[in-house]
Structure 1
Amino acid sequence: MTTHQTAMVMVDLALVLMCAQVLGRLARWCGQPAVIGEILAGILLGPTLFHGALSDALFPFAVRPMLSTLGDLGIALFMFLVGLELDHRLLRGNRRAAVGVSVGSIVCSFGLGSILALWLWNGHAVGNRLGFVLFIGAAMSITAFPVLARILTDRGIQHTRVGALAMASAAVGDVVAWLLLAAVLTFTGGQSSWLVLLVLPYAVVMFTVVRPLLGRFLTSREPRATGADEHGPGSGPGAGPLAVLTALLLVSGALSERLGLHFIFGAFLAGAVVPRHGTQRLRAAVADRFETITWMLLPAYFTVAGLKVDLSTVDGDGLGELGLILLVAIGGKLGGAYLGARAARQPGRGAMTLGILMNTRGLTELVILGVGLQLHLIDTDLYSLMVVMALVTTALTAPLLRWAYPRQMVDADLRSLAAEWEAAALESGPALPVGAQRSETQR
């Protein structure tokens, strides 16, 4: 790397951070999650404006690989945090409904997406037809668990019945969708078959060997509860746990990449195997540190992704394709989740709310589309249209949620739950305080 390239990378990263911050704040002001503005910043810095002259001047081709590497590190950390935030306790009392909503939304989205892909193939033929069809189906099946969690928190409904069920459904759906995508990439990515056979033993070793060893190591270094700030001086995770977890996610990502899967699966798995019991404060402290680094690196990924999005070439045919993509994406998720929730005996208004929430895609969809483009499963034109779909479906979540689940219904549900927790506490005595019940639903 030359001195000029080093300087350009630093300047470009500063520019990316400032644009993402400004548009992220603007998105929040408009009632949208910040990720909408950050993704939009990446698109605006790309070739969509001024026929690529702006992006070529700001981001020379010589520095793009460096920005891509920084963005990949940000995505690895992001996927680790997604795995770290998954909690099986979300399924308590919601198992049947969560499975119903997840299965309904995935089956319907995958089926409709595969049918649409058969038609899209005529104008976007690239690589293997089976891989193209399966990939579009899998991409339509994704729900962005982290973005959904942020929307629920911003709306203050994460502790309601609908909020807990949405989190549980998204957690189950994310795991199933990632496994589905892994299977698609395994069977269509052209990787060596004998390496792919090692994926299952690798996952087994991670859960049966690495997880117990990691649990003993982290439990012994769990910060002690004191009256001071949990993240104050001397109370953080320490260099040891941070180094071990960072090394784990990097090695796991590298191994999954070597075995024929994308590195995002290894990073996700590394977060998923971190034990939950006895590591609550340490995991929260580690997540706080990693989120700071992720906030700095993810905009680089958005920009690199935006450099591949060129909406200036979209014509009438492209708008027609975009309309069909949006129809299938929204209809598959909303309709499938609604039918799954109704089959699990959820009320109509709650089922509609779940369908709206499961339609959230955000950054997770962008990650998957980037994988498909990198492996030549889709072309750049379709990639651009799918990125717009991810933005639109995520942007629709907040206003539709305000319509389907207004503030008065949220307050009524919270009062109902508080009454149930108080009654349970009275029946069980001091061993079951309301705060304990609330802490159970918080994760």
Structure 2
Amino acid sequence: MSSHQVQLLFVDLALIVIVARVVGRLVARFGQPAVIGEILGGILLGPTLLGGTVNTLFPMGVRPLLTGMADVGVALFMFTVGLEIESRHLRGRGWLTAGTALGSMLVPFSLGIGMAFYLLHNHPADRHGTFIVFIGLSVSVTAFPVLARILTDRGLSRTTLGGIALATAAMVDVLAWTGLAGVQAVAAEGGHHWRLILAIPYLLVIILIVRPVLSWLVGNGTALRPQNPSAVLVVLVGILLSAAATEAMGLHFIFGAFIFGLVTPKGTAVHAFHTEITDHIGRISGLLLPVYFMVAGLGVDLRHFGATQAGELGVILLVAMVGKFGGTYVVARLLKLPPRPACALAALMNTRGLTELVILGVGKQLGLLDGPLYSLMVVMAVVTTMMTGPLLNRIYHRPVVVPEAPSVRLPEAQEVPSA
């Protein structure tokens, strides 16, 4: 690596961090999550606005280094996704959680499959079946971390609605990542599918050895006590090794990081440890994730956006919004959730955020998405996430109470504050 490339690497990193922070704060003034600004910042640094200049600003010799840093940031992000999914989110919600999760997943997935046949006309794929299933998954995802942040910012996280939303989003996330793992296993090239059988001993080691050891170290040992630098070191090494393991099996590294987050101790008993790890890992990923947005932005090119692309984008947005919102709302109402909370829950499930970008990045890496379709799907992710705040403001312009309903096994009624 030449001295000039080193200089450009540092300049590019500084530019990425500045743009992400400025645009993130700008959109936050309009009630949008900072992640939307960071995604838009990545698009602003891409060819859509800069054209050919982007190759001078981000030369090919520097991009692999930025991509590597972005991959580490995504791995740490996926760890935090798994870490935030606690078993308490999935317990005690009864049929309401299971039903709304299935409605939020299966309805957009089914519509997405139909849309995939339409997209194949302009975006031919070598593996039609894999492409169709992937498109269905890509419009079915919900961004659990962004949703949790929205609930916290609006004071909804400890309400009945917040608990239902977190439980439903957690279940949808698990289903989505499981489906994506299957898609990647089928789409993987190179004739090394036999390596997938290694997932069985890997999961056994994670569940039967790694998880108990981590729980013992946190509960009884001294190595993972809060404020001890060894705690962050042990977890960080575990994330990286778990990510490397799934990548070696032919699965994407994000699955290893996500699974390690799932098995890391959490809950009220280890709250201090959880807070410490989240804080430190969050700082590292907070620096590296904007690099991922930049790398993603380099693949978004809307310079040739015309009538055909506008029509495709309209179909994608319609399927994504109607499928997610409609599927969640209809099932929630069938399970006796009142109209306004059901509407709010549907709006929350329509949040896609960075989770969608990660899935789209996997699809592009596997060759399932070409450049134009990838660009349109990224726009869909941004638009649907930006809708969440305004929709909640519209729905909850005044306080509402989610009543107790034995048939849906809701927790004790709590007032939902206005946005």
- Identify whether the pair has TM-score above 0.5, normalized to the shorter chain: yes
Q: Identify unmatched segments of 5+ residues in structure 2.
A: 405-410, 415-419
Structure 1 stretch displaced more, 55-64 or 199-208: 199-208
Structure 1 CA distance for aligned equivalents of residues 334 and 208 of structure 2: 35
Correspondence 1:295 to 2:294: no
| CA drift at 1:223 | 10
Correspondence 1:124 to 2:123: yes
Query: Conserved in 2, the CA contact under 8 Å of 1:222 and 1:279?
Result: no
Which residue does 1:332 correspond to in 2? 323
| CA drift at 1:49 | 1.1
Structure 2 CA distance for aligned equivalents of residues 238 and 77 of structure 1: 20
Query: Conserved in 2, the CA contact under 8 Å of 1:223 and 1:281?
Result: no
Structure 1 stretch displaced more, 184-193 or 334-343: 184-193
Which residue does 2:407 correspond to in 1? none
Which residue does 1:70 correspond to in 2? 69
Query: Conserved in 1, the CA contact under 8 Å of 2:98 and 2:168?
Result: yes
| CA drift at 1:123 | 0.6
Which residue does 1:231 correspond to in 2? none
Query: Conserved in 2, the CA contact under 8 Å of 1:46 and 1:52?
Result: no
| CA drift at 1:280 | 1.9
Q: What do the CA deviations read for 1:319-375 (whole angstroms, capped 9, x no partner)?
A: 000000000000110011112212322112111111110000000000110011011
Query: Conserved in 1, the CA contact under 8 Å of 2:321 and 2:350?
Result: yes
The one-letter code of the counterpart of 1:274 is T
Correspondence 1:309 to 2:300: yes
Structure 2 SS opposite 1:279: helix
Which residue does 2:219 correspond to in 1? 219
Query: Conserved in 1, the CA contact under 8 Å of 2:160 and 2:413?
Result: no
Which residue does 1:37 correspond to in 2? 37
| CA drift at 1:410 | 6.9
| CA drift at 1:207 | 1.2
Which residue does 1:21 correspond to in 2? 21
| CA drift at 1:422 | 12
| CA drift at 1:406 | 2.6
| CA drift at 1:421 | 7.4
| CA drift at 1:377 | 0.9
The one-letter code of the counterpart of 1:394 is T
Which residue does 1:243 correspond to in 2? 233
1:350-369 to 2 correspondences below 5 Å:
350-369=341-360
Correspondence 1:342 to 2:341: no
1:173-212 to 2 correspondences below 5 Å:
173-190=172-189, 192-212=192-212
Which residue does 2:276 correspond to in 1? 285
Query: Conserved in 2, the CA contact under 8 Å of 1:130 and 1:188?
Result: no
Query: Conserved in 2, the CA contact under 8 Å of 1:46 and 1:310?
Result: yes
Correspondence 1:403 to 2:394: yes
1:152-167 to 2 correspondences below 5 Å:
152-167=151-166
Q: Identify unmatched segments of 5+ residues in structure 1.
A: 225-234, 414-419, 424-443
The one-letter code of the counterpart of 2:48 is T
Pair 1:49–1:111, CA change in 2 (3 A): same
Query: Conserved in 2, the CA contact under 8 Å of 1:71 and 1:298?
Result: yes
Query: Conserved in 2, the CA contact under 8 Å of 1:223 and 1:237?
Result: no
Pair 1:200–1:141, CA change in 2 (3 A): farther
So what's the TM-score if we normalise by structure 2?
0.93
Structure 2 CA distance for aligned equivalents of residues 422 and 369 of structure 1: 38
Q: What do the CA deviations read for 1:399-434 (whole angstroms, capped 9, x no partner)?
A: 001111234227999xxxxxx9799xxxxxxxxxxx
Q: Quote the RMSD (CA, aligned, Å).
A: 2.1
Query: Conserved in 1, the CA contact under 8 Å of 2:90 and 2:170?
Result: no
Structure 2 CA distance for aligned equivalents of residues 126 and 408 of structure 1: 49
Correspondence 1:275 to 2:268: no
The one-letter code of the counterpart of 2:379 is V
| CA drift at 1:33 | 0.4
| CA drift at 1:159 | 1.1
How many positions carry a matched residue from both structures?
Answer: 406
Structure 1 CA distance for aligned equivalents of residues 305 and 413 of structure 2: 57
Structure 2 CA distance for aligned equivalents of residues 412 and 110 of structure 1: 31
Structure 1 runs of 4+ aligned residues shifted over 6 Å read 410-413, 420-423
| CA drift at 1:221 | 4.8
Structure 2 CA distance for aligned equivalents of residues 221 and 46 of structure 1: 48
| CA drift at 1:157 | 0.9
Query: Conserved in 2, the CA contact under 8 Å of 1:218 and 1:279?
Result: yes
Structure 2 CA distance for aligned equivalents of residues 412 and 176 of structure 1: 29
Pair 1:3–1:221, CA change in 2 (3 A): farther
Query: Conserved in 2, the CA contact under 8 Å of 1:118 and 1:133?
Result: yes
Structure 2 SS opposite 1:49: helix
Structure 1 stretch displaced more, 275-284 or 403-412: 403-412
Which residue does 1:262 correspond to in 2? 252
Which residue does 2:89 correspond to in 1? 90
The one-letter code of the counterpart of 2:125 is V
